[in-house]
A and B are shown apart, each in its own frame.
Chain A
Amino acid sequence: MNVDARGWRMALVPDALINPPERARTALPDVLGVLEASGYGVLQLPPKAGMACCWR
């Protein structure tokens, strides 16, 4: 290993922007696409219901 391309940029992103509901898809920007183009890594925040226990 001798290369490292990490951008040292991270974005906390709500699940709803990573996996937008079908009806909101056209209204929302392509957040992952924008972050990728800008060299950001993503830390996905838990979905609204169900996963809060994972990230304590």
Chain B
Amino acid sequence: MALVANCLLNQNAKVCQGAHYAGLVSPVVEVLRKRGYVLQQLPCPELAFAGVRRWWAVYEQYDTPAYRTHCRRLAQAIAPLIEGYLRRGDEVILIGLDGSPSTGVRFTSSKPEWGGRPNRPRMTGRSSRARACGSRNWRLSWRAGLTAPAGDRVALDMGRFDEAGSRRDLEQFLDSRETTEGSRDDGPAAP
């Protein structure tokens, strides 16, 4: 099961001037389908909050009580579904979007003092646990005893988009998952 950021299946959800594809982000979809993942599109917190004609923003601009409440509501709604998959023992992965203030997994755009004109902000590398708003809010809803899905990201919002590099990263992440799953299936090593 691959939980994918909304805009990986629908580039119309992107901020103005942020769409790299007409519709689907085909390299991501192709890689996941080829490996047999079931796709589950996540809701886009920004689209539902600010609409399709919004400009891009940094983490701090969305870090408001109203947006946190909004993200929490979305997360709490979808968490039971994910919990069901996890309890069933499915492998669940999360494919987010590096550079996004809401769905970044490893990086989010950050500039605390910035506001006003929507110039491109600098990108700051921070762990998802600390700064990626969407991921953090998903984590708020994991029930006790469940582990949050392993996550990877496509660097669509990192300034210069490198399609081949992103695809390679995703494949490496999935390869590492397969290796882990494979070794788990082998059972404990003989003493």
User: Interface size of A by Cβ–Cβ distance < 8 Å?
Assistant: 29
**B-binding residues in A (CB < 8 A):** 1-10, 18-19, 32, 35-36, 38-44, 47, 50-51, 53-56
One of A1, A3, A36, A54 near B43 (C-beta < 8 A): A54
Q: Are A7 and B84 in contact (CB under 8 A)?
A: no
Chain A residues lying within 8 Å of B40, measured Cβ to Cβ, are: 44, 47
**A-binding residues in B (CB < 8 A):** 9-24, 26, 29, 33, 38-41, 43, 56, 74, 77-78, 80-81, 84, 120
Q: Are B9 and A41 in contact (CB under 8 A)?
A: yes
Q: Are B81 and A10 in contact (CB under 8 A)?
A: no
Chain B residues lying within 8 Å of A35, measured Cβ to Cβ, are: 23-24
Q: Are A19 and B120 in contact (CB under 8 A)?
A: no
Q: Are B23 and A39 in contact (CB under 8 A)?
A: yes
Chain B's closest residue to A36 (CB) is B24
Q: Are A9 and B18 in contact (CB under 8 A)?
A: no
Q: Are B13 and A41 in contact (CB under 8 A)?
A: yes
One of A2, A7, A56 near B17 (C-beta < 8 A): A2
Question: A7 CA to B11 CA in the complex, in Å?
Answer: 8
Closest 6 CB pairs of A and B: A41-B10, A7-B22, A39-B22, A6-B19, A41-B23, A44-B41
Q: Are B26 and A36 in contact (CB under 8 A)?
A: yes
A-B contact pairs, 24 of them (CB 8 A): A3-B17, A5-B11, A6-B21, A10-B10, A10-B12, A10-B23, A18-B39, A19-B38, A19-B39, A32-B33, A36-B29, A39-B22, A40-B22, A40-B23, A41-B12, A41-B13, A41-B22, A41-B23, A42-B41, A43-B10, A44-B40, A50-B80, A50-B81, A51-B81
